[in-house]
Structure 1
Amino acid sequence: MTTAAGGEAADSGVDWVHIPGGILHRGTPLASLSAVAAAYADTGVPPQWFRKEAPRTEVRVPAFRVARTPVTSAQWELFAQATGRASSGASDDHPVIGVTWADADAFCDWMSARVGFDVRLPTEDEWERAARGDDDREFPWGHHYRTGLANLNDLGIGGTTPVGSFPDGASPFGVLDMAGNADEWTSTLYAPYPGAPADVPALETWAFDPHITRGGAFRHDRDLARCARRHGAYEADLAAIGVGFRLAADAEAAPHESVTER
């Protein structure tokens, strides 16, 4: 396998999924906010937390590539050994968690050097596009929540599971673990959507980090499994709250990598 520069590229161990360009039905309609809050009232989520999902907007997202699963502890270990960072201490096939945004970004730079093309974190819109597909589904697998399709609090596992353990919870493009297991960093800094309700905060000053996370982790309730749900790292203990990440790349990148077309 050679890079565009003609050098030998190391095997990245990344299963890339091609996400075609298309329209993302981003967010939640203003008129639906009350119903959404009522539907998840049992989780204890304050209704105002859902308001930063509004309004529903059609956004054209160019084609890109995304890793089928989050970065694993085994992949992180190679990076840690090369850069002097701490080992994750987790099983090889589990998602790495407890990773700061800066270290996730550094991992992308390290992987870019290994494979010979730019690897990065997905934008928030790319993440939602990979999870939601072409329609306005509520969850990666469809419109209704079903226990057992993602590693969330309702399963009572209390920790991560091997990546890809819930294949029936795949997104329309075949991307796995878009809900539960590890909450995932994006490259997008938090800001209200254009046209958001006036009471949506301009900044989340209480967040440990200003970047948006998506998908929720093993400790979260089903509201975090929703494709529209915008989240963040609100505690300093990133391992306890299950923060990890997955990789993305431009559509024209990785010409010599194995890519699945869906």
Structure 2
Amino acid sequence: MRVGDSIASIRNICAGAVLATMSAGAQAYAGDDVIPSVVDIPSGWFWQGSDAVERQYAYQIDEQVYGHDLSRRNRWYDIEGDKWRVHLLGYHIGKTPVTNDQYAAFISDTGHPAPEMSRDDWNRQGLIYNYDTIQPFLWSNGKPPKGRGNHPVVLVSWQDAEDYVQWLSQKTGKTWSLPSELHWEKAVRGPEGTFYPWGNIFDPELLNSGDRGPFDTMPVGQFEPGPYGLYDGAGQVFEWTSTSAQAGYRMVKGGSWDDRGCGVCRPAARHGRPEHLKHILIGFRVMYRD
């Protein structure tokens, strides 16, 4: 057996174990129709950002898993700034990231380019993943990959996500948008400012990350929801926000199925990515105000 075949076999075994655990555990979220379902986030205060204790914890768990201090040396989490109280008016935000099926309705209705990508276009982005890695995520003839309708849509740029919310606004008569970093963070972590949606200790059993597999996206809503009822706020896929990181970059939040540790999966973690980027680790969710 080749090394690649051996790794694939191990990953398949892990994936099966994860799905079996999900079936035996909390009831999975069943999914929505074409229009994303939302949860209501009440007006009020919440703790945004992190303090030195949380950042130290994030660096330590990264070092334990990866065996090096790259995140600390590059000061990845220092940009989070000190924890502070923020008041936001109420709003409604997607219960899950937008799925392939939901995005397919937009593609069908508008003729917008689907998440298809040539080898040259992918390689031009300069990412560490080779083109073969992205095959399971690629659409074909405007259709999502078979069996992945309820997975988060990926390989979408920030502008693709913006175009989707404009279509959704026209479709529903509501003014949808991408959440700002603040709106996203409050919705995911709740008002108390915990390190993760479930508390202050990282638990790989509570999210889709690279710590336990299946080393891929999963159907949305397979883990317990956060304080306000959101699913997949930690792990699964990074999510585009409306918040600018620097010229031509936007903040993405939440970590992904490929991250281990998972310091970057904390709601306070901040990560800027180019607006034009189409990545297998990045999707989005949507929100609107009354």
Q: Deviations over 1:124-158 (max 9, x none)?
A: 00111001111021101112111121111012312
Report the counterpart of residue 231 of structure 1 in structure 2: 271
CA deviation string 1:8-39 (max 9, x = no partner): xxx75321100011212111124654454234
1:185 partner letter: W
Describe the shift of the 1:223–1:119 C-alpha distance in structure 2 as closer, same or farther (beyond 3 A): same
TM (normalized to structure 2)? 0.71
Does the CA-based 8 Å contact 1:30-1:56 persist in structure 2?
no
- 1:149-168 paired onto structure 2 within 5 Å: 149-166=206-223, 168=224
**Matched residues in 2 for 1:68 and 1:124: separation?**
16
Q: What CA distance in whole angstroms lies between the structure 1 residues aligned with 2:194 and 2:161? A: 29
**What residue is the counterpart of 1:176 in the other structure?**
231
Q: Which residue matches 2:83?
A: 56
Unmatched 5+ stretches in structure 2: 1-32, 116-138
Give structure 1 stretches of 5+ with no counterpart.
Answer: 1-10, 191-202, 253-262
Higher percent of residues as helix: 2
Structure 1 residue 105: Cα displacement:
0.3
Match of 1:213 in 2: 252
Query: After the TM superposition, which parts of structure 1 deviate over 4 Å for at least 4 consecutive aligned residues?
Result: 234-237
Q: Does the 8 Å contact 1:140/1:171 carry over to 2? A: yes
Partner of 1:101: 158
Supply the AA of the counterpart residue of 2:63: A
Determine if contact 2:243/2:250 at 8 Å carries over to the other structure: yes
Identity among equivalent pairs (%): 31
Change (3 A) 1:220 1:234: farther
The answer as to whether partners of 2:95 and 2:230 remain within 8 angstroms in 1 is yes
Partner Cα distance (2:47, 2:265) in 1: 16
**Count of matched residue positions in the alignment of Structure 1 and Structure 2:** 222
- What code does the residue aligned with 1:233 have? R
The answer to whether the Cα contact below 8 Å between 1:24 and 1:128 also exists between their aligned partners in 2 is no
Check whether the contact 2:54–2:195 (CA below 8 A) recurs between aligned residues: no
Map of 1:86 onto structure 2: 114
What's the secondary structure of 2:176's corresponding residue?
Answer: coil
Instruction: Report Cα offsets for 1:68-88 as digits up to 9, x if no partner.
Output: 001000011111122221254
**Is the Cα–Cα contact under 8 Å of residues 100 and 149 in structure 2 kept in the other structure?**
yes
8 Å Cα contact 1:30-1:54 kept in structure 2: no
1:255: which partner in 2? none
Query: Aligned letter for 2:176?
Result: V
Which of 89-98 and 26-35 deviates more?
26-35
Q: CA separation in 2, counterparts of 1:74 and 1:35?
A: 37
C-alpha RMSD of the superposition: 2.1
Matches of 1:223 and 1:34 in 2, distance apart?
10
Taking the aligned partners of 1:141 and 1:31, their CA distance within structure 2 comes to 17
- The match for 1:26 is 48
Q: Write the distance in 1 (CA, Å) between the matches of 2:182 and 2:108.
A: 32
Cα contact 2:48–2:268 (8 A) shared by 1: yes
Equivalent-residue separation in structure 1 for 2:49 and 2:179 (angstroms): 17
